Every structure is written in C-alpha cells, then in structure tokens.
Amino acid sequence: MADLNLELKQLIIETLDLEDVEPADIIDDEPLFVDGLGLDSIDALEIGLMLQVNYGINLKSDNDETRQHFSSVNALAALVREHRQQQESA
C-alpha cells in the first residue's frame, strides 16, 4: 500500500509540476483539494488524465463518486487497487 501511495504522490507532483512539494509533504489521508494540498478543478482534470494514462482508469468529472476518489491519496490508491482487481478478474 505504501508503495502505491508513494507512486501516486510522485505522479501528482510530476503531473502538476509542484516544484516545492516532496512526496513526504503530501499526507496520505489529508484532502488534496482546497484544504490540505490546495489543488483546484484544473488540477483535478490533470490528475484524471494521469490516472487514465498510467492506470487505464476513466472517471466522469461530474460524478460524486469521482469527488470521493479524489479526496486524498489514500482514496486514489483504493481506486487504483479496485481497478486492478477488476482487471485481474475480467
């Protein structure tokens, strides 16, 4: 789990070009948007694209479930793990 969280943190930093942020600065269960890391809706679109490119995950931007997935690094990691399990059982 920790490896996936670290991988996601690094991808977020690279995708959003967060120059002054290190993976250790991103707390796994803190919000990514507004409070916490302070990301905005444009950042959400970029993270969505990153998830699609790196993990094959397609999300709808106007969905409440998507907002929950984007709530924290832990939530993103759970989404990736769930997607991987679905792919393995398909």
DSSP string, 37-70: T-B-HHHHHHHHHHHHHHH-----TT-HHHHHHT
Contact present, 32 and 70 (Cβ < 8 Å): yes
In this predicted structure, what is the pLDDT of residue 1?
57
Over residues 37-53, the pLDDT tens digits come to 889 989 999 999 999 99
Look up residue 90 and give its two tokens: 């398909």
How far is residue 67's CA from residue 44's CA, in Å, rounded to a whole number? 9
Whole-Å CA distances, 77 to 11, 19, 20, 57, 74: 12, 22, 23, 12, 5
Listed by start position, the domains of the chain span 2-18+31-89
Residue 36 has what pLDDT? 83
Cβ-contact 83, 56 below 8 angstroms: yes
Per-residue pLDDT of the chain (90 residues; tens, 9 = 90+): 589 999 999 999 999 999 999 999 999 999 999 888 889 989 999 999 999 999 999 988 778 888 899 999 999 999 999 999 999 987
Q: What is the pLDDT of residue 66?
A: 86
**Is 40 within 8 Å of 68 (Cβ atoms)?**
no
pTM, whole model, 2 decimals? 0.91
